[in-house]
A and B are shown apart, each in its own frame.
Chain A
Amino acid sequence: MADISGLTPGRTVLMQGNEAIARGALEAGVSFAAAYPGNPSSEILQTLADSAEGAGIYAEWSTNEKVALEAAAAASYCGLRAMASMKQNGVNVAQDFICNLTISGSGPGGLVLVTCDDPGAISSTNEEDARFIAKLADLPLLEPSTPAEALAMMKFAFDLSEDIENLVVVRAISRLSHTRSGVVPGELAVGRPRPAWDPKRVITTIPAVPRHQVMKDKLAEAGGLMAAGPFNSYGGPDNPELLIIASGSSVLYAAEAIDILGVGRRVGLLKLGCTWPLDEKLLRKHLAATERVLFAEEVDPFIEDHVKSLYAQHAPELGIKRFYGKASGHTPAIGELSPGRLAAAVSEVLELGHQAVDPGYLERAVQSAGAMAAPREVGFCPGCPHRASYWAMKQVLAVDGRAGLVSGDIGCYTMGVLSTGFNRVNSVHCMGSGLGISSGLGKLGRFGFDQPVISVVGDSTFFHAALPGIVNARWNQADYLLVVLDNSATAMTGFQPHPGTGQLASGQAGAQVDIEQVCRSLGLDCRVADPYDLAATSDALYDALQQKGLRVLILRRVCALVQGRSGGHPYRMEIDPELCRGDACGCHRFCSRVFKCPGLVFDQALGQAVIDEVTCVGCGVCAQICPAGAIKALAKDQEAAA
Chain B
Amino acid sequence: MKELAREPLDLVITGVGGQGNVLASQVLGRALLDQGYQVTVGETYGLSQRGGAVMSQVRVTRRGVLGPLIAENQATAIISLEPMEALRVLPTYGHPEVVVLTNDRPLQPLGVIAGQAEYPQPPKLRAAIEELCGRLYWLPATEEAMKLGAPILANVIMLGALAASGLLPIGAPEIEAALAEMFPDEKMAANRQALAVGQELVA
Interface set of A (CB-CB < 8 Å, partner B): 12-14, 16, 39-40, 118, 122-124, 146, 148, 174-176, 178-182, 249, 252-253, 255-257, 260, 338-341, 343, 356-358, 361-362, 364-366, 368-369, 372-381, 412, 415, 419-420, 492, 589, 592-594, 596-598, 600-602, 612, 614-615
Q: Is B87 positioned at the interface, with any CB of A under 8 Å from its CB?
A: yes
Q: What are 14 A-B pairs with beta-carbon distances under 8 A?
A: A14-B39, A122-B44, A122-B45, A180-B43, A181-B65, A181-B66, A182-B39, A362-B91, A365-B91, A366-B91, A369-B91, A381-B51, A419-B110, A594-B114
Residue of B72, B115, B120, B142 near A593 (CB, 8 A) is B115
* A368 CA to B151 CA, complexed, in Å: 29
Count of chain B residues with a beta carbon within 8 Å of a chain A beta carbon: 62
- Residue pair B42, A178 in contact (C-beta under 8 Å): yes
- Residue pair A379, B67 in contact (C-beta under 8 Å): no
Extra pairs beyond A361-B95, A602-B113 (5, CB < 8 Å): A124-B46, A146-B65, A362-B73, A375-B111, A381-B18
Distance to closest chain B CB from A440 (angstroms): 28
- Residue pair B41, A374 in contact (C-beta under 8 Å): no
| In the complex, residue of chain B having the shortest beta-carbon distance to the beta carbon of A339 | B71
* A178 CA to B146 CA, complexed, in Å: 31
* A174 CA to B55 CA, complexed, in Å: 14
- Residue pair B71, A179 in contact (C-beta under 8 Å): no
| In the complex, residue of chain B having the shortest beta-carbon distance to the beta carbon of A378 | B52
Distance to closest chain B CB from A368 (angstroms): 5
Q: Mark B60-86, 1 if CB is under 8 A from A, else 0.
A: 000001111111111000000000110
Known: A592-B113, A614-B151. A180 touches B46 (CB 8 A): no
- Residue pair A361, B132 in contact (C-beta under 8 Å): yes
- Residue pair A338, B71 in contact (C-beta under 8 Å): yes
* Interface window among B26-34, B164-172, B191-199: B26-34
Q: Is B159 positioned at the interface, with any CB of A under 8 Å from its CB?
A: no
- Residue pair A374, B72 in contact (C-beta under 8 Å): no
Q: Is B112 positioned at the interface, with any CB of A under 8 Å from its CB?
A: yes
| In the complex, residue of chain A having the shortest beta-carbon distance to the beta carbon of B120 | A372
Residue of B30, B74, B114 near A596 (CB, 8 A) is B114
Residue of B18, B29, B90, B108 near A369 (CB, 8 A) is B90
- Residue pair B39, A598 in contact (C-beta under 8 Å): no
Known: A122-B47, A598-B51. A180 touches B71 (CB 8 A): no
Interface set of B (CB-CB < 8 Å, partner A): 16-18, 26, 29-30, 33, 38-48, 50-53, 65-74, 84-85, 87-88, 90-91, 94-96, 107-115, 117-120, 124-125, 128, 131-132, 142, 146, 151
Most chain B CB inside 10 Å of its own CB: which residue of A40, A357, A358, A612: A357
| In the complex, residue of chain A having the shortest beta-carbon distance to the beta carbon of B128 | A368
| In the complex, residue of chain A having the shortest beta-carbon distance to the beta carbon of B70 | A339
Distance to closest chain A CB from B140 (angstroms): 13
Distance to closest chain A CB from B201 (angstroms): 19
Distance to closest chain B CB from A182 (angstroms): 6
- Residue pair A377, B46 in contact (C-beta under 8 Å): no
- Residue pair B44, A178 in contact (C-beta under 8 Å): yes
Known: A178-B44, A249-B68, A365-B91. A358 touches B96 (CB 8 A): yes
- Residue pair B51, A376 in contact (C-beta under 8 Å): yes
| In the complex, residue of chain A having the shortest beta-carbon distance to the beta carbon of B31 | A14
Known: A256-B66, A356-B73, A379-B51. A365 touches B113 (CB 8 A): no
Known: A14-B26, A356-B74, A365-B91. A176 touches B68 (CB 8 A): yes
Distance to closest chain A CB from B33 (angstroms): 5
Residue of B69, B70, B111, B124 near A377 (CB, 8 A) is B111
Which residues of A have CB within 8 Å of B132? Answer: 361, 364-365, 368
Distance to closest chain A CB from B47 (angstroms): 5
- Residue pair B110, A179 in contact (C-beta under 8 Å): no
Distance to closest chain A CB from B36 (angstroms): 9
Which residues of A have CB within 8 Å of B95? Answer: 357-358, 361
- Residue pair B114, A39 in contact (C-beta under 8 Å): no
